[in-house]
Chain A
Amino acid sequence: MINPNPQTHYAGPSLRQDVETRTLSVLVDNEPGVLARVIGLFSGRGYNIDSLTVTETEHEKHLSRITIITRGTPAVLEQIKHQLERLVPIHRVRDLTFEGVSLERELALVKVAGKGEKRIEALRMAEIFRAQVVDTSIEHFVFEITGKPGKIETFINLMTELGLVEVSRTGIAAIGRGAAAM
């Protein structure tokens, strides 16, 4: 617990902490305003939100699970966790990245329009990425793709050259591996 170097606490410029990305899972009472509390905390204290998903996950208990992807130095990330824990309707906050291996998945709906070769190429790419066609006409497809955020990012990048029109993404849902709950 005690700093081995009693001379100073303050890391020199070369030892400054790096910014890390973390996935936080937050279990909250599903009551009015709870999302506003969480978002307000992030904006009010100048924290980042890269992705946020929320929905009720346990209906009888009115519990919602919020998954937040955030960035910051380890010191800021520790603050974020403690600040979240201070909010009254919050049951638990878990840093899934910090605490071990977690699964992260996202769903995207990707609309691609075009004709001829590009259209065929888009469909071929969709098969490779195991994206489903959920809507089509002779000039467009809507693909549904699920996977790790990196995979979705790659798919969207490829589609940009093949007539990408618009994208809707759910944001990331995450859960820890293994038998235990958060």
Chain B
Amino acid sequence: MARTMTGAEMVIKALQDQGVEHIFGYPGGAVLPIYDELFQQDKIQHVLVRQEGGALHAAEGYARSTGKVGVALVTSGPGATNAVTGLTDALMDSIPLVCITGQVPTHLIGNDAFQECDTVGITRPCTKHNWLVKNVNDLARVLHEAFYIAKAGRPGPVVIDIPKDIQFASGNYVGPSNIAHKTYKPRVKPDPALVRDAVELMASAKRPVFYTGGGVINSGPKASQLLRELVRLSGFPITSTLMGLGAYPASDKQWLGMLGMHGTYEANLAMHDCDVMINIGARFDDRITGRIDAFSPGSRKIHVDIDPSSINKNIQVDLPIIGDCAYVLEEMLRVWKAKAPQLDKAALKAWWKDIDGWRARKSLAYKNSTDVIMPQYACQRLYELTKDRDTYITTEVGQHQMWAAQFIHFEEPNRWMTSGGLGTMGYGLPAAIGVQLAHPKALVVDVAGDASILMNIQECSTAVQYNLPVKVFILNNEYMGMVRQWQQLLHGNRLSHSYTEALPDFVKLAEAYGWTGMRCDHPADLDDAIREMINHKGPVIFDCRVAKLANCFPMIPSGKAHNEMLLGENVSDEDVSKAIGKEGKVLV
């Protein structure tokens, strides 16, 4: 099987053998041999981004919307350091990426050569694993291993650092093999005894709730199907983290909406008051738990996770189950069907009555206006006008992200791409480019803020080059809205540097890039303008001028418990300024 070829040829051959069709990258001195090989083939399409950070986020968007591994190719030194944010983002959100970085030739490593940096040293804590390949005969094996590591178990990013002399050197190429990895063998099938215990506990519940996360999405579409079946069979309420939206259809009556800091009242109260919590593929992140010692104090907790280190990391659980969500859900369903448990119908009915009471508070309600566009209204209209299409949504990070999560609803997994764990402003536009490349016919909208969008605005140029008709829907309030909201909560309304005094004219900016620019500042015009954006064949920046001082509610202030939420409709400025205590101030 072994064939002799150069290191650069091996890179392309390995990508082809791994079924890679698209990669995102930016050339430079230390990757020129690989770019030369790319030039001489046509199986893999390379997308030239405008900054390496964009390549990583585009690869993330591609991976999140397809379930495939995203691939990025960058040069040494600044190419690699620019990739660090995207790698960390992918690590936090468990996104499978393979990032190939060029390196100075092996004899120059350590000499502070031009465009040299310690790439494996810098990326060690922000990757699942990384390699510096110093022998060309290791390269093919490492490339295939990289894809395995990125995908297996809890997915994540990996880096392969290839010195330039290794790219030129000749060696033996080996194809992908199915030989078991010698050390990395994550458990995917659950212990059946634990699943039986879990089903028993679920069946005895009086106030159960499903709390699901990105693990269900990462497990693949089958996990979402199995989750739906189990939830419907049980009749239990279900909520999800930001990362898990779409695994369960938002239109279903058992759906409580997103939970957490900006989640719905009913979702958070159900979490607080439940007696059995069924966590599937979520990690008890601090955005979810709020104050740890008051988190769901009366419940027994089942935690399904593929990563044993997620168990008992933040919250002590009663019944941990290690395994891939799809396998665990399959087994849960099998046991549930076999046992056909007798549920406590009276208790469940009372529980749903409680939930309906919380729902009646309408925690997402906001005061609409006929004069200015409320950001919530903008998201609602965007959702209503796009929901019947083949739509994918990405976001940047901030208030607009939370409003999008609250008001745009998802029926299917892999439709919602947002930077959850790391909270990376500038994620949405390059991610949308990656999504659009994978789904050329779909409608891809980046819901953005006026501040975030400027962090990777250069990628507008990429969209034009590859005819990617992404839509950027900016909720423009001229503020870093979430920063301002926290300054109001914590710092006496002293708005230190959260107002952007010199924003560009987004319409002209769009036109300068060869996009179409649109502006809307009146609620009466909004629907027509959104329709025009959707129907436009090319990329569009939509400058949606929204109410400047709107804040994002409901909110669990940091350091508070789920039952201490601030609801939007009746929050006074004084409530806002006193909401966070001394201990909560140090939290983020």
List residues of A whose CB falls within 8 A of some B CB. 1-3, 6-10, 29, 32-33, 36-37, 40, 44, 75, 78-79, 82-83, 85-91
A32–B133 Cα distance when bound, in Å, is 10
Q: When the two chains form their complex, are residues B312 and A2 in contact, meaning their CB atoms are under 8 A apart?
A: no
A30–B128 Cα distance when bound, in Å, is 18
Contacts of A86 in B (CB 8 A): 307-309
Determine how close the nearest CB of chain A comes to the CB of B191; give it in whole angstroms. 10
Contacts of B121 in A (CB 8 A): 33, 36
Interface bits B98-134 vs A (CB < 8 Å: 1, else 0): 0000000000000000000000110011001110100
Quick check: is B13 within 8 A (CB to CB) of the other chain? no
A75–B130 Cα distance when bound, in Å, is 29
Quick check: is B297 within 8 A (CB to CB) of the other chain? yes
Quick check: is B300 within 8 A (CB to CB) of the other chain? yes
The residue in chain B whose Cβ has the minimal distance to the Cβ of A11 is B316
Q: When the two chains form their complex, are residues B312 and A78 in contact, meaning their CB atoms are under 8 A apart?
A: yes
Determine how close the nearest CB of chain A comes to the CB of B564; give it in whole angstroms. 17
Given A1-B194, A6-B298, check contact A29 B183 (CB 8 Å): yes
Q: When the two chains form their complex, are residues B293 and A10 in contact, meaning their CB atoms are under 8 A apart?
A: yes
Determine how close the nearest CB of chain B comes to the CB of A82; give it in whole angstroms. 4
Contacts of A85 in B (CB 8 A): 308-309
The residue in chain A whose Cβ has the minimal distance to the Cβ of B320 is A1
Contacts of B556 in A (CB 8 A): none
Quick check: is B532 within 8 A (CB to CB) of the other chain? no
Q: When the two chains form their complex, are residues B318 and A89 in contact, meaning their CB atoms are under 8 A apart?
A: no
Determine how close the nearest CB of chain B comes to the CB of A5; give it in whole angstroms. 10
Contacts of B312 in A (CB 8 A): 75, 78-79
A79–B309 Cα distance when bound, in Å, is 6
A3–B320 Cα distance when bound, in Å, is 12
Q: When the two chains form their complex, are residues B297 and A10 in contact, meaning their CB atoms are under 8 A apart?
A: yes
Task: Give the contacts of B294-353 with A (CB-CB under 8 A).
Answer: 297-301, 307-309, 311-313, 315-316, 318-319
Contacting residue for A3 out of B293, B300, B308, CB 8 A: B300
The residue in chain A whose Cβ has the minimal distance to the Cβ of B183 is A91
Q: When the two chains form their complex, are residues B300 and A82 in contact, meaning their CB atoms are under 8 A apart?
A: no
Determine how close the nearest CB of chain A comes to the CB of B128; give it in whole angstroms. 7
Contacting residue for A40 out of B125, B129, B132, CB 8 A: B125
Q: When the two chains form their complex, are residues B124 and A36 in contact, meaning their CB atoms are under 8 A apart?
A: yes
Q: When the two chains form their complex, are residues B132 and A32 in contact, meaning their CB atoms are under 8 A apart?
A: yes
Contacts of A3 in B (CB 8 A): 300, 318
Give the contact-size bracket for chain B.
20 to 34
Determine how close the nearest CB of chain B comes to the CB of A136; give it in whole angstroms. 41
Determine how close the nearest CB of chain A comes to the CB of B201; give it in whole angstroms. 7
The SS class assigned to the B binding surface is mixed
Quick check: is B17 within 8 A (CB to CB) of the other chain? no
Q: When the two chains form their complex, are residues B300 and A2 in contact, meaning their CB atoms are under 8 A apart?
A: yes
A33–B129 Cα distance when bound, in Å, is 11
Given A79-B309, A82-B311, check contact A6 B300 (CB 8 Å): yes
Q: When the two chains form their complex, are residues A88 and B297 in contact, meaning their CB atoms are under 8 A apart?
A: no
Contacting residue for A82 out of B149, B297, B308, CB 8 A: B308
A21–B568 Cα distance when bound, in Å, is 49
Contacts of B319 in A (CB 8 A): 1-2
The residue in chain A whose Cβ has the minimal distance to the Cβ of B300 is A6
Give me 28 A-to-B residue pairs in the complex whose CB atoms sit less than 8 angstroms apart, sorted by A's number. A1-B197, A1-B319, A2-B318, A3-B318, A6-B275, A6-B298, A6-B299, A8-B298, A9-B301, A10-B292, A10-B293, A10-B316, A33-B120, A33-B121, A37-B124, A44-B125, A75-B312, A79-B313, A83-B309, A85-B309, A86-B309, A87-B129, A88-B149, A88-B184, A89-B129, A89-B183, A90-B183, A91-B182
Q: When the two chains form their complex, are residues B197 and A2 in contact, meaning their CB atoms are under 8 A apart?
A: yes
Contacting residue for A1 out of B130, B132, B184, B318, CB 8 A: B318
3 shortest interchain CB distances as A-B pairs: A82-B309, A88-B129, A9-B316
Contacts of A44 in B (CB 8 A): 125
Contacts of A91 in B (CB 8 A): 182-183
Determine how close the nearest CB of chain A comes to the CB of B302; give it in whole angstroms. 10
The residue in chain B whose Cβ has the minimal distance to the Cβ of A87 is B129
Contacts of B309 in A (CB 8 A): 79, 82-83, 85-86
Given A2-B300, A6-B300, check contact A88 B194 (CB 8 Å): no
16 more contacts with CB within 8 A, not counting A79-B312, A85-B309, A86-B308, are A2-B197, A2-B319, A6-B300, A9-B297, A10-B292, A29-B182, A33-B121, A33-B124, A33-B132, A36-B124, A40-B125, A79-B313, A82-B308, A86-B309, A88-B128, A88-B129
The residue in chain A whose Cβ has the minimal distance to the Cβ of B134 is A32
Contacts of A9 in B (CB 8 A): 297, 301, 315-316, 318
Determine how close the nearest CB of chain B comes to the CB of A11; give it in whole angstroms. 9
Contacts of A32 in B (CB 8 A): 132
Task: Give the contacts of B183-234 with A (CB-CB under 8 A).
Answer: 183-184, 194, 197, 201
A90–B125 Cα distance when bound, in Å, is 16
Contacting residue for B124 out of A8, A29, A40, CB 8 A: A40
Contacts of B130 in A (CB 8 A): 33
A123–B315 Cα distance when bound, in Å, is 55
The residue in chain A whose Cβ has the minimal distance to the Cβ of B301 is A9
Task: Give the contacts of B501-540 with A (CB-CB under 8 A).
Answer: none
Contacts of B149 in A (CB 8 A): 88
Contacting residue for A2 out of B201, B307, B308, CB 8 A: B201
Determine how close the nearest CB of chain A comes to the CB of B181; give it in whole angstroms. 8
Given A2-B201, A33-B120, A78-B312, check contact A88 B318 (CB 8 Å): no
Interface bits B153-188 vs A (CB < 8 Å: 1, else 0): 000000000000000000000000000001110000
The residue in chain A whose Cβ has the minimal distance to the Cβ of B158 is A88
A44–B91 Cα distance when bound, in Å, is 14
Determine how close the nearest CB of chain A comes to the CB of B548; give it in whole angstroms. 40
Contacts of B201 in A (CB 8 A): 2
Contacts of B292 in A (CB 8 A): 10
Contacts of B124 in A (CB 8 A): 33, 36-37, 40
The residue in chain A whose Cβ has the minimal distance to the Cβ of B153 is A86
Determine how close the nearest CB of chain A comes to the CB of B374; give it in whole angstroms. 40
Contacts of B316 in A (CB 8 A): 9-10, 75
The residue in chain B whose Cβ has the minimal distance to the Cβ of A6 is B300
A89–B149 Cα distance when bound, in Å, is 11
A2–B316 Cα distance when bound, in Å, is 11
Determine how close the nearest CB of chain A comes to the CB of B241; give it in whole angstroms. 20
Contacts of A87 in B (CB 8 A): 129
Q: When the two chains form their complex, are residues B298 and A7 in contact, meaning their CB atoms are under 8 A apart?
A: yes
Determine how close the nearest CB of chain B comes to the CB of A182; give it in whole angstroms. 14
